[in-house]
Amino acid sequence: MRKFISNLSTLRRSLLVSAAAFVVVATAVSATTISTSITTIGLTATGSATLGDAVADGVILNGRLSTGSAAGAALTLDSTYAYTEGAELRYTVTDWTGIGNNTFEGMYLRPQINTANASGNLKGIEVNTVNNGVALGSIHGGYFETQMKAISADTTVGPIYGIESQISQYAPTSGTLTLTEQSNVGAAAGRFQIGLAAGLADYTSLYGVLIQTNDASAASRTLGSGLLIRNYPAEGTQTWTKGIQITAPAVTGISLEGAMTTDISLQNGETIDNATDGGLKVSGWVRPYINNTAPDAVDPTGPVEGSIAVDGGEQDCFAAADGTDGGSLCVYSGAAWIVVNTW
């Protein structure tokens, strides 16, 4: 009897742990409250478990979250698995009263390093999508979509971005920040890399960046710029060393193949256009004729040494055109236009 009484405390703790396990295992438990903190080790729950009964309830995790084991292991999804996603989180905001800073985020993740490590690396998140050598319709490393739906009246919304990537550099309290460069690049707001190996049937089907449009109503529209490089208007002016730079070998550096009103537009209104017969028209210092029918070039003011121009209606460069003696190809040299060819 004395031994039984001495073991009552141990028995009581075991019963509490068992009761807690029973609550987790239960498929549905309503109005269940455990007011005493219970610590358990190796607790296994089967079926579905509901934590919390109101949106203000929370689950506090003081440790690692993983599948299969503490170290992480893949779960095998067979015919008994009835869901499209491995994890799914959905939220609907119906009242902004309790949401701080008028901003709601579906998920916030912040890894932070406070200890130096010259060979260490830090990643905010890694998503690794693997096709293990089987036929598949398509594969995406990550998919992001911003939807505007159920618009039934005039609605104003701020800028809409499908995905946003940003580097934020804060001024140091002392000293300077030095970036270690990789192939002359110390930082980039976005980087896209293609890892190749032998065995691909057609390597020309690989593209670094693809920008495409789709209209659900099948309408034809004129959009903004396909690629816009600008200085953010609210900040100071930053000047790019080069707006576009291609250092990789290419069969064709730039290919303009779509239907274009103007192929290339330069500063001060100059253009470079490809004519229908395959000729090239440059409105500026260089203006080749097309089938000997180019209009007269206007005598440019302030030409520089080596400038080239064509006068389509006068064999004497930029003289008064009489329309009877062809044209001339001229080069500006020694402070004067010199005729190098006539027709």
Structural domain contains residue 61:
no
Q: What's this model's pTM, rounded to 2 decimal places?
A: 0.68
Structural domain contains residue 62:
no
Amino acid (one-letter) located at 260:
M
Structural domain contains residue 279:
yes
Edge-to-edge strands, sheet with 264-265:
264-265, 271-274, 280-282
Structural domain contains residue 238:
no
Dihedral class, residue 133 (left if φ above 0, else alpha if ψ from -120 to 50, else beta): left
Q: Which helix (H) or strand (E) holds 138?
A: none
Between CA 77 and CA 86 the distance in angstroms is 9
pLDDT at 294: 39
Between CA 265 and CA 2 the distance in angstroms is 98
Instruction: List C-alpha distances in Å: 169 to 39, 176, 235.
Output: 43, 11, 14
Joined together, the tokens standing for residue 207 give 């593209």
Scanning the chain, the segments in alpha helix (DSSP H) are 2-6, 8-25
Nearest to 207 by CA among 197, 229, 192, 227: 192
pLDDT at 89: 94
Between CA 86 and CA 129 the distance in angstroms is 13
Cβ proximity of 285 and 306 under 8 Å? no
- Taken in order 228, 220, 206, 147, is the CA torsion positive or negative? positive
pLDDT at 129: 95
Q: What is the DSSP letter of 277?
A: T
The tokens 């579905």 sit on which residue? 48
Between CA 70 and CA 52 the distance in angstroms is 24
Q: What is the length of the chain?
A: 343
Cβ proximity of 228 and 240 under 8 Å? no
Go through 219-241 and write b for each residue having 16 or more CB atoms within 10 A of its CB, e for each that does not. Answer: eeeeeeeeeeeeeeeeeeeeeee
Domain that holds residue 324: 261-343
Question: Beta strands of the chain (E only): which ranges?
Answer: 264-265, 271-274, 280-282, 308-311, 328-333, 336-342
Structural domain contains residue 311:
yes
Structural domain contains residue 71:
no
Between CA 100 and CA 166 the distance in angstroms is 22
Tens-digit pLDDT string for the chain (343 aa): 454 445 444 444 444 344 444 444 433 444 444 545 555 556 677 788 888 889 889 989 999 999 999 999 999 999 999 999 999 999 999 999 988 788 999 999 999 999 999 999 999 999 999 999 999 999 999 999 999 888 889 999 989 999 999 999 888 778 888 888 888 899 999 999 999 999 999 999 999 999 999 998 889 999 999 999 988 877 788 899 999 999 999 999 999 888 888 888 888 777 777 766 556 665 554 544 333 333 344 445 566 676 777 666 566 676 655 555 667 777 778 777 788 887 7
Cβ proximity of 192 and 209 under 8 Å? yes
pLDDT at 37: 53
Cβ proximity of 43 and 24 under 8 Å? yes
Give the count of domains, the chain: 1
Structural domain contains residue 290:
yes
As beta bridge partners, residue 339 has 330
Structural domain contains residue 67:
no
Between CA 51 and CA 24 the distance in angstroms is 9
Between CA 279 and CA 283 the distance in angstroms is 13
